[in-house]
Amino acid sequence: MPTSPQTSTLGLKTYQGAWTFAQTKHLLNRTMFGAKIADINYFNAKGLIATVDELLNVPTTVPAPPLNDYTTSSYSDPNVPLGSTWINDVSLDGTINSYRRSTYKKWLLSIYVGQARNIQEKLTFFWSNHFSTEADIVSYGTMVYNHHQILRKSCVGNFKQMVRDITTDPGMLRYLNGYVNTKTAPDENYGRELQELFTVGKDGGSKYSEDDVKAAARVLTGWKIDAAFNAVFDSARHDTTNKTFSAYYSSKIITGKTGASGALETDELLSMIFANTDVAKFICRKLYRYFVYYYIDTNVENNIIIPLANTFISNNYDIKPVLKQLLQSEHFYDSIYIGCQIKSPIDHVVGFLRQFEISFPDPVTDYVDSYYLYNNMVNQMISMGQNPVDPPNVAGWPAYYQAPDFNELWINADTLPKRNKFTDLMLETGYTKNNKKTIVNTIQFAKTVCANPADPNVLIDSLFSFLTSTDIDASLKKTLKTQILLSGQVSDYYWTDAWNLYITTPTTINYNTVHTRLKTLLKYIMNLPDYQLQ
């Protein structure tokens, strides 16, 4: 019989241990899509408290929007010129919207790779999986963009307000049929997922009923999408009768309202739901599984989840205090949680691009070539099982919720070779567009990561320290040094001399000697199971 995973007995007291490179990298790997060596060094110098505060200080500025990169001599968007943004243009044309959704994904990858030193991108992605929509079903590019802007704007804000905004978001209304939910034909899709997936959940003893789903659907009747893609309330389509809920919601009765006042029933419904403490516990479990570890036993439930839920409730469902308490806790930095998560495809691809500081053309001034190259990265993630903004269903990607496997679902006989092939490709050929190349610069990377790359021992230690989060056996490091950096010789100077010769005399042959050994070593490291963990 398989044993349950190990969990920490440490609680939410503030971590008082050493603030080392390893702890800093652990925090950044969980709160950003990969960390550059400069990011780790920057936050390592600040200490834990200042680091968490800065990571949670999310900017209010909006990134430059996605652009039209799809107009050609044979096809054009009639309202949006090449190089202009389409986010404010309403189009019903299926072909145009297909191009816009594709452009959105390429643009989003550029945002992930160029992210600032804060939690915004990683947390916005968390909420996009929580309030899951499929771009292909939403269809309209502007709705896809606006849906995700709600999540970006509110990512560390108030969860109640986020749920309210999402409930009448045109993208969500379209995705879960809220726009066709009327008094004569109530549609239960959103009323069900609002409870099952977005607020109280089905774990931990939540016991809302089918009648609660039906009553919620009737409350939400009347919302629709106008020709300008705005959510509007149509009182003629609203069910004005009383809606009675089960004992789970204290037998609440929402009195039916007429006219424009019918829209107020939506707020009453959300207030009723948030009066139930299961909401806080459900969201805190999801945050825990995303940022720490998927396994929650009685110990973790009592020592971590319930106290976090109490923090959530006492702060009127503001998100930031919960994250601050978790990310500063001694529990978060327990060694058993460092290197325990399998990277998602997004973490794998974007983390690699950021670790190796892969250079892309500017997505604003050189958007055609930039989007072309970013599209290759989108396709890589799709091949590994994670299509950005197109999860498989309303529950999101199974690796974030499906027990008992959770993130182990990312790795299988098909996806693991594709992960290794991607890192190999980026070391060998990369991608090229108009003489602009996205490829690993092995020598520059060695210089960036290691203070003394001429010493093979220091170099290997530095590479493993940066690229992996698990303990690597000294005998493996010694073998790699001998077989790869020393080309089978026994003396360290076989590498030291080769490195120094290239630095002083950077001829092609000297470059190839150093580059080939570094490339082989990096391939080996990134093909190890340890590289798939963070």
The domain segmentation of the chain, as residue ranges, is 162-270, 442-532
Q: What is the pTM of this model?
A: 0.97
- Rounded distance between C-alpha atoms, residue 331 and residue 288, angstroms: 11
- Rounded distance between C-alpha atoms, residue 436 and residue 360, angstroms: 8
Q: Do the beta carbons of residue 40 and residue 331 sit within 8 Å?
A: no
- Rounded distance between C-alpha atoms, residue 162 and residue 124, angstroms: 12
Give the pLDDT score at 4: 80
Q: Which residue carries 């060094």 as its tokens? A: 41
- Rounded distance between C-alpha atoms, residue 88 and residue 163, angstroms: 24
Q: Which residue carries 């947390």 as its tokens? A: 123
Cα dihedral sign, 125-415-401-284: negative
What does DSSP assign to residue 329?
A: B
Q: Do the beta carbons of residue 251 and residue 261 sit within 8 Å?
A: no
Give the pLDDT score at 36: 98
Q: Do the beta carbons of residue 26 and residue 341 sit within 8 Å?
A: no
Cα dihedral sign, 317-31-134-89: positive
One DSSP character per residue, 128-184 reads HHHT---HHHH--HHHHHHHHHHHHHHTTSBHHHHHHHHHT-HHHHHHTTGGG--SS
Give the pLDDT score at 413: 97
Tens digits of pLDDT across the chain (534 residues): 456 888 999 999 999 999 999 999 999 999 999 999 999 999 999 999 999 999 999 999 999 999 999 999 899 999 999 999 999 999 999 999 999 999 999 999 999 999 999 999 999 999 999 999 999 999 999 999 999 999 999 999 999 999 999 999 999 999 999 999 999 999 999 999 999 999 999 886 678 999 999 999 999 999 999 999 999 999 999 999 999 999 999 999 999 999 999 999 999 999 999 999 999 999 999 999 999 999 999 999 999 999 999 999 999 999 999 999 999 999 999 999 999 999 999 999 999 999 999 999 999 999 999 999 999 999 999 999 999 999 999 999 999 999 999 999 999 999 999 999 999 999 999 999 999 999 999 999 999 999 999 999 999 999 999 999 999 999 999 999 999 999 999 999 999 999 999 999 999 999 999 999 999 999 999 999 999 999
One DSSP character per residue, 403-466 reads TTTGGGGG-STTHHHHHHHHHHHHHHT-EEETTEEE---HHHHHHHH-S-TTSHHHHHHHHHHH
Give first-to-last CA distance, the chain, whole Å: 27
Give the pLDDT score at 1: 45
| Cis ω before 529 (30° cut-off from 0) | no
Query: H-helix or E-strand containing 224?
Result: strand 223-225
Q: Do the beta carbons of residue 217 and residue 190 sit within 8 Å?
A: yes
Q: Are strands 253-254 and 231-233 parallel, antiparallel or unpaired?
A: unpaired
Nearest to 56 by CA among 306, 287, 285: 287
Contacts for 471 with CB less than 8 Å, ≥ 6 apart: none
Rg of the chain in Å (alpha carbons):
25
Query: H-helix or E-strand containing 519?
Result: helix 508-526
Q: Is 287 exposed, middle or buried (0-12, 13-18, 19+ CB in 10 A)?
A: buried
Give the pLDDT score at 407: 96
- Rounded distance between C-alpha atoms, residue 194 and residue 408, angstroms: 27
- Phi, psi for residue 254 in degrees, rounded to 5: -95, 115
Give the pLDDT score at 2: 52
Contacts for 43 with CB less than 8 Å, ≥ 6 apart: 24, 27, 28, 51, 54, 55, 117
Q: What six digits make up the tokens of 348?
A: 């794998």
